[in-house]
Amino acid sequence: MRKDGNVLLRPWPLIATAFIIAAAAIAVHRYIHGIGSVTNLTDASAWGLWIGIDILSGIALAAGGFQIAAAVYIFGQKKFRPIVRMSILTAFMGYLMFIAGLLVELGRPWNIWHCIVYWNVHSPLFEVAWCVMLYTTVLALEFSQVIFDKFGWKRMQEIFHKVSVPLVIAGALISTLHQSTLGTLFTAMPSKLDPLWYSPILPVLFFFSCIAAGLAMVIVESGLSKRFLKHEAPHHLMVSVSKGLFLALGVFAVLRFADLATRGALKLIFANRYETPFFWLEIFLFIVLPVLLLTNKRTRLAPRGLFAASFSVVLGLVMHRMNVVTTGFASVNQGYFPSWQEFVISIAFVMAGFVIVGLIARYLPVLPKEEAVVPTGAREDELEGYVKVGWSV
Amino acid sequence: MSQKGLLIDVTACLGPSCNKCVVACKQQNNLPDGIEEKLSWRSFTVLQKQNGQYVRKLCMHCEHPSCVAVCPVGALAKKETGAVVYDVQKCMGCRYCMVACPFEVPTFEWNEWNPRIRKCTLCTGRIEQGLPTACAAACPTEATLFGDRETLIAVAEARIRRNAEKYQRRVFGLFEVGGTSVLYLSAVPFDVLGFPKKLTEEVPPEIPWHILQQVPHVVMLGAVVLGGSYWLYRRREEVAKLEAQMKAEKGHGVHEGGHHDA
C-alpha cells in the first residue's frame, strides 16, 4: 500500500510545486502581455536565459540518452544495460521540456508547426527543428518499450526488439546533427559574437561538450536517484561512465584552447574586459575542477567526488552555453541580465522535468529489477508491490 | 525590375531639426509619433547622434541577407527590387533574424501577445509602383537618394571624386557583408558613425551554409561507423558462441592446457 500522502510536505516537492505554480502564473502573464512583460530581453538581446538554459543546455544535458543507448545496443557494452532506460527517459524528458520551453520562448508559438510546411534549408534552425521532431519521435519509440513491458504487450515487445538497433542508430545520428547544429546557429554571427566564443568549429565544440555533459548528467542523475528514489546504479558503472566523461572533457579542452590559439584569441583570455570572468568561470567549472577531481584517484572513486566532478561539468556546460548566447554578445546587448521571472520559468522547467522523471521511475519499469524502486521513507511492509516493477536485464 | 537602393550622404543631412525622413516613414508605416534613438517597433528609421555627427539608421537591405538565410520558415525574403521583406503569416517569433543581423536591424513587439518582427521594407509597395521610398521623397537635401543601386554607386563615386578632401574614400555598403542596397557616404570613418567594426566582405550566412552542406557526409559516415560497430559486436558474439561450442565439443574431458578463451 502506498501511504505517502505527506509527500507534499517534504521540502523538495514543496519547492518544486511552488516554482511550477509561479511559472504557470508568469506564463499566463506572458501570453497576455507579451514576452517583454516578464523578461529583460530587448531588441539588442533577443535571446537570453530561456535559450541558454532550456534550449541549448537542456539539449546538451540530454545527450546521455543516445550515448548510453549506442554503448549498449551498438557497441555491445552490455554492462550499461541497467542505466540505459533511465538515460533514455532523461533524454526524452529533456526534449519534451525543451519543446514545452519553446512554447513559452517563441513569440508566436501557435505557428510552431510552420517548420514542417515552410522550408528554408539554408537555416541551421530549420535543421535544428527537424532534428528535434525526429529525435523526439525516436525517443518516444525507444521509451515505448517501457510501456510494453509494464503492460506485458508481447507482440509489441517483439516488434520493438526487431527495430531497436536501427532506432538507436537513427537516434545517435540525429543527436549528433542536432547537438552540433546548435553550435552552427552561432557561426552566422562572426562580427557580433565575441572571439572568446565565436569559432567556425562551434559545431564540433558543441558536439564534444554535449558528449561530456550528457555523461556527467547520467552520473548526476544517479546521485539524485539515490537521494530521491532510494535507488542507485552500481557505482562501478558510474566510474566507467566517468572515464568516457574524462576523455570527452580532454578532447573538448584541447579543441577549445587550440581553437582560441588558432584564431589568435588567446591574448583576450587575461584581458581586462567584461567577458573575462565569465570565460574563466566556464573554464573552471567545465574543465579545471572536473579534471582535477577526476585525475585524483581518491575523489574519482568516491561517489561524492564523482558527483561533484559531474555536477561541475553540468554547471560548466550551462555556463558555456549562456556565454555563447549572452556574454558573447555583450558588445551589442549592453549587459543583459535575466529577470527573476525568466529564472523562475527556467528553474520550474528543470524541476518539472525531474518530478516527471521521478514519477515515471516510480510507476514504470525504468530502473533495473535488482534494486527496487521504493518510495522515499517507505516502511518494510510497504515494499511489496514495488519490487515487481523491475525489469529483466 | 532592377535592384533599387538608397544612398545616404551623412554630410548632407540636416539632422533632427529637419527629421522629415523619420516623420514620412512613420506616416507610411502607421507607426506611433515620437522621436526615438534606436530602431524599434515604433520606428523603422532613426536619426542617431554619433560622436557629434547625425547619421540615419535603417535596414541595410543586404544583397545576401543573414536574416533571410537564417529564418527557419522563410518568413523573410529578398525581393527582385532589393527589398528585404517580412511575411508575418509564416513567422514563429524565434527571433533568430534579430540575433543574426550584423546591423541589429530587425526589432520585435515585446509587449504584444501575438508579436511581429518589425523593420524597414524599403517601402516595397511604393517602389513596385515606381515611386521612391517615403524617406527619399521627403528628404529636402540630397542626403537620401533613391534609385537603381548601380546608379547610386556611380553617384556616390562621383561625389567622392568631386570632393575628395571631404569624403571618406569609400562607399559603405559596396562590399560589406557581401554588399547592401543601402549605401553610405561620410566625412568621418564609418565605425565612428556606429557601424560595426568587424564587418568583412565575407557573406556571414555562407559560414553556416558550408557547415550544413556537410550534413549528408556526417550522416553517411556516422551510419557506416555505427552500422560497422554493430556488425563487429554481433560478429564477435557469434564467434565467441561458436568457439565456446567447439571447445565444449572438442575439449570434452580434455584439460584446458594451452587453450585460451576468446
pLDDT digits (tens, 9 = 90+) for B21-60: 999 999 999 999 999 999 999 999 999 999 889 999 999 9
pLDDT digits (tens, 9 = 90+) for B61-105: 999 999 999 999 999 999 999 999 999 999 999 999 999 999 999
| pLDDT reported for residue B252 | 66
| pLDDT reported for residue B136 | 97
Query: What chain B residue is nearest to A125 in terms of C-alpha separation?
Result: B72
B 97-126 → A contacts, CB under 8 A? 98-100, 102, 104, 106-115
Beta strands in chain A (DSSP E): none
B163 and chain A: CB distance < 8 Å anywhere?
A: no
Say if residues B25 and B43 touch (Cβ distance below 8 Å). Answer: yes
For every residue of A297-349, DSSP letters joined together read: HHHHHSHHHHHHHHHHHHHHHHHHHHHHHTGGGHHHHSS----HHHHHHHHHH
pTM of the model: 0.90
Closest by CA to A293, choosing from A312, A267, A278, A317, is: A312
Closest by CA to A149, choosing from A365, A377, A327, is: A365
pLDDT digits (tens, 9 = 90+) for A168-223: 999 999 999 999 999 999 999 999 999 999 999 999 999 999 999 999 999 998 88
Residues of chain A with pLDDT under 70: 1-9, 369-393
B241 and chain A: CB distance < 8 Å anywhere?
A: no
For residue B192, give the C-alpha cell: 565612428
Domains, chain A, ordered by start: 34-389 (1.20.1630.10)
| pLDDT reported for residue B180 | 97
Confidence of residue B157 (pLDDT cuts 50, 70, 90): very high
Residue A68's Cα: distance from chain center in Å?
14
Alpha-carbon span A304 to B79, nearest angstrom = 60
For residue B228, give the C-alpha cell: 560497422
Query: Sign of the C-alpha dihedral, residues B130, B135, B141, B147?
Result: negative
For every residue of B205-240, DSSP letters joined together read: THHHHHHHTTHHHHHHHHHHHHHHHHHHHHHHHHHH
Cross-chain residue pair B198–A31, CB shorter than 8 Å? no
Which of A32, A74, A108 lies at the smallest CB-CB distance from B230? A74
Q: What is the ipTM of this complex?
A: 0.89
10 Å CB burial of residue B58 (0-12, 13-18, 19+) is buried
CA distance A76 to chain B (A): 6
